Structure 1
Amino acid sequence: MTGTGSPHRVLLAAGCLLAGLGVAAGAFGAHSLEGRLPADALAIFDTAARYQLLHALGLILLGLAAARWPDAGWRSPALLMLCGVTVFSGTLYALALSGIGWLGAVTPLGGAALIAAWIWAAWAALTRT
């Protein structure tokens, strides 16, 4: 499959978009929020951007793997990774900007999804490629 909607291209595009947004978020945090948020909130925001960028690269890698081994089942761990980074980083961004404490209780769900996505991807790599 080589069309623009093929699974590996969708994963690559999602990873690239997530990376671009992560760079924008990091720059926003470093240049616009410094002095406006307490240091602990800035650290939370930085963690969100860092994890977003790392998992954007993960999605790109899964897209490359899907191009190389199209039948290995990369879409499911990629979707889980995308959901995980959305919940993990999203709740951290919201927590840093709003100070709403209960958001911190939701963040580990995103982290668990990220861990599961990496384990699932490892399983796919070992059993289906």
Structure 2
Amino acid sequence: MSQIALYFGAIFGALSVIFGAFGAHLLKKKLTTEQLNSFETGVKYQMYHAIVLLILGFQLNSEITIDSYIINAFIIGTILFSFSIYGLVISSANNKKLKFLGPITPLGGLFLILGWALLIYKFVVTFN
């Protein structure tokens, strides 16, 4: 069992519900449709990966190197991807767009892809 994956999965899950409600109720009046869609994308990806981390937390052992890499890739990817979107959308809505966050979103996406690729690799090695 990997406690770090379980902790982050639970935290990301709780925050995605909070941010989703925040977006649906408070930001809906401030954001354009495009901005709201972007914010919702961040929330969805955060929740998807919260669920993945919870499942992996019960299946993987963070003391095994590949398992640790998978867990860390999903944690780092979720933080960089979703939270940079939140920052971009909210700062843009306040006419103070934090442009430095723009390149961080695809970097987060790369970490998420890396997590999935490592998971596939683990399956291939384990089941062959």
Band the TM-score falls in, shorter-chain normalisation: 0.7 to 0.9
C-alpha deviation, 1:65, in angstroms? 1.4
1:20 aligns with 2:18: no
Partner in structure 2 of residue 3 of structure 1: none
Identity in percent: 31
C-alpha deviation, 1:128, in angstroms? 3.8
Alignment deviations for residues 4-29 of structure 1 (CA, whole Å, 9 cap, x no partner): xxx51221121011111111111110
1:91 aligns with 2:84: yes
Query: Contact conserved, 2:66 with 2:118, CA < 8 A, in 1?
Result: no
Structure-1-length-normalised TM-score: 0.84
Partner in structure 1 of residue 73 of structure 2: 80
Q: Which consecutive aligned stretches of 4+ in structure 1 deviate over 3 angstroms post-superposition?
A: 70-73
Cα distance change on mapping 1:72 and 1:83 into 2, 3 Å: closer
C-alpha deviation, 1:123, in angstroms? 1.1
User: Number of aligned pairs?
Assistant: 122
Which ranges of structure 2 fall in alignment gaps of 5 or more residues?
A: none
